[in-house]
A and B are shown apart, each in its own frame.
Chain A
Amino acid sequence: MDVYTSHVRPPLVTGGKTVHDVTDDVCKHVEATPNIKWLMALGVSAVTLLIGAFGVYRTVFYGIGEWGLNKTVGWAWDITNFVWWVGIGHAGTLISAVLLLFRQKWRMSINRAAEAMTIFAVICALMFPMLHMGRPWLGMYWALPFPNTFGELWVNFNSPLLWDVFAISTYFSVSLVFWFVGLIPDFATIRDRATGPIAKAAYGALSMGWVGGAKDWMRYEYVSLILAGLATPLVLSVHTIVSFDFATSVIPGWHTTIFPPYFVAGAIFSGFAMVLTLMLVTRHVYNLKDYITINHIESMNKVIVTTGSIVGIAYITEFFIAWYSGVEYEHYVFLNRMKGPYWWAYWSMMTCNVISPQLFWFKKVRTNIYITFALSIVVNIGMWFERFVIIVTSLHRDFLPSSWAMFYPSKIDVLVYVFTFGLFFTLFFLFAKYFPVVNMAEVKSIIRDSSERKES
């Protein structure tokens, strides 16, 4: 096979891999018997899930009173976690859709896992508004425009919370479809290699009878391109609408027009950090160093430093506008964030989100796996604090000083958050074992043009 090596861009796949090597390197993990390390990892996640399930049980059976909310701060822990998880979910679609439109081929070895992460993160995010409904089994009547027995009383389409219901559910289902369409050719590869009856049955169903005909590939490519075109404005709209939950209110600290772009940048920022956290581990455990190279990691770090700086500018702009507006309530809220009782949350956010990613300006830092891994976790902690600061500090100093309060999460609050972590990692470990973690068909298509020549 003739291989062209570009001298301008580093190869996307190293180690002189052939097309058949790609199949082998990805499928061997699906075909192998579960090993003890994986079983332990899954076990820990499942136990975390079960411990957290106690929090879900208390919330559902005893009500929202189990949470740490009070009369002043009626929205805190749950919505912080919701926005945090939704934000994490944005990287998958960004990598697979936006980078597809921009023809960034380095997306190909990470998009599969990133999309999986998106779907699992959105499931975790959905837990919070569902549980906050108190009686989630009735929630569908309240959240969706179903004919009902309240005299056909419809939902309120003027409410950003309802826009969110539509945005998140559309985002979830379109991401799921996008992911599944991408998986079909790879499931077919696994099906054609499968030996056991269970594998044959499972992947036979999932592969939808795909055989890779030229006409099917033509349609497949168009479907991918159009779905990417649809998913790109969709992903931007979702966090825009999440930010509307706050921005359309008249609470000082929330009522700002900068929220949509600022939230979208923050979502991409935290999403890429989570992708890095997961991919660095997957890369190591599955020995995918030839597919997810240092260059891939460096590219993701560049996205992190860009979006981190956008977020930093947004923080400063918010401050400037609060001062420039001349509104004393705005002045107070922003000074209170910096110097009030939640100063530690504010300064954690500033350190983790604005200062620490600036280290990625140095190539040595960008290409160091250990620093990248540590910073990816720091960024996610920072982004959690960002949501906490925006939500809690804007509420806890009410207009009347007699209503001033603090928010302290209850044990049940913490357990519900632990539950979503258990859910996320259980789903991710199941995915990593039974699904192809790298998009084989796409990576095979770049082997000729962007693979390192084997030294002979």
Chain B
Amino acid sequence: MEHGKNYLVGVYDDDHVLLKAVTTVREKGVKIEECYTPFPVHGLEHALGYNRTRLPIVAFLFGMTGMCLAMFMQVFMMVIDWPQIIGGKPFFAYPDFVPITFELSVLLSAFGLVGTFFVRSDLKPYGGARVFDKRQTDDMHIMAIDLASQKLSQEEVSSILKESGAAEVNSKTFED
């Protein structure tokens, strides 16, 4: 994602205020780059107009892959490559393959899901995500506004943020 340099940071001390503020600020024509909260605020993604994540589909596809791989592995080893008579059971003793098929479906689904989540959200050790305010992981809710993408002036945006209930409005500049 392209990042700007000059930001206006609205600091809110209450999640309900932030939720209302997001709607009013957007209605007044201010583009919000992202909101940062110390805990999940329900409904924030709708207020910001984000599309629903497709991660459930990813989990399903990885799960199906795991299921197919597990079934193929067991059938290949037990039926095709080296069939053995074990306790008089048929080579293709499919009920016996259910537990491992289930386990591998869950394994691939979980790892595929979390792996995709890390990639999509760009989570990695020492990831370079921007911290607008150190309190955003403690008790403050942050609304980050990239000044370069606004039609309104900095003063206008600042007063809109203050009207919407921001406890503080700070400006923040990034060098990189």
Contacts and interface: CB of A to CB of B under 8 A. Distances in A.
Contact of B137 (A145, A188, A214): A188
Interface stretch (A215-223, A329-337, A416-424): A215-223
A416 B55 CA distance: 43
Interface of A, secondary structure class, is helix
B138 A170 contact: no
Given A19-B38, A158-B93, A177-B111, A215 B121 contact: yes
Contacts of A192: 131, 134-138
B126 A212 contact: no
B131 to A, nearest CB: 6
Contacts of A178: 110
Interface string B99-131: 110111011011101100110111111111111
Contacts of B63: 230
Among B59, B93, B103, B125, the most chain A Cβ lie within 10 Å of the Cβ of: B103
B25 interface: no
Given A157-B77, A219-B120, A221-B40, A237 B103 contact: yes
Interface in B23-53: 34-41, 44-45, 48, 50, 53
Contacts of B110: 173-174, 177-178, 227, 230-231
A118 B144 CA distance: 39
A213 B81 contact: no
Given A152-B82, A158-B89, A219-B53, A212 B36 contact: yes
A412 B144 CA distance: 62
B95 to A, nearest CB: 10
A163 interface: yes
A291 B107 CA distance: 33
Give the interface size bracket for B toward A. 35 or more
B174 to A, nearest CB: 13
A240 to B, nearest CB: 8
A217 B37 contact: yes
B64 interface: no
B73 to A, nearest CB: 7
A230 B127 CA distance: 28
A213 B104 contact: no
B129 to A, nearest CB: 4
Contacts of A13: none
A193 B97 CA distance: 50
B61 interface: no
A89 to B, nearest CB: 16
Interface size class of A (residues with CB under 8 A): 35 or more
A193 B138 contact: yes
Contact of A444 (B38, B73, B96, B134): B38
A1 B114 CA distance: 35
B20 interface: no
B78 to A, nearest CB: 5
Contact of A222 (B56, B118, B124): B56
B65 interface: no
Interface string A166-201: 110010011001100100110011011100000000
A430 interface: no
B163 interface: no
A170 B106 contact: yes
Nearest to B45: A218
Given A210-B129, A222-B53, A448 B96 contact: no
B97 A174 contact: no
A205 B99 CA distance: 36
Contact of B77 (A154, A216, A221, A230): A154
Given A189-B138, A233-B106, A209 B13 contact: no
Contact of A215 (B16, B45, B102, B109): B45
B74 interface: yes
Contact of A170 (B37, B59, B104): B104
B156 interface: no
Contact of B111 (A155, A162, A173): A173
A440 to B, nearest CB: 8
Interface of B: 13-16, 34-41, 44-45, 48, 50, 53, 55-56, 59, 63, 73-74, 77-78, 81-82, 84, 86-87, 89, 93, 96-97, 99-100, 102-104, 106-107, 109-111, 113-114, 117-118, 120-132, 134-139
The 9 closest A-B pairs by CB, nearest first: A209-B127, A19-B139, A154-B77, A208-B123, A205-B125, A163-B99, A444-B39, A20-B139, A445-B39
8 contacts: A2-B16, A23-B139, A158-B87, A163-B100, A163-B103, A192-B136, A216-B121, A237-B102
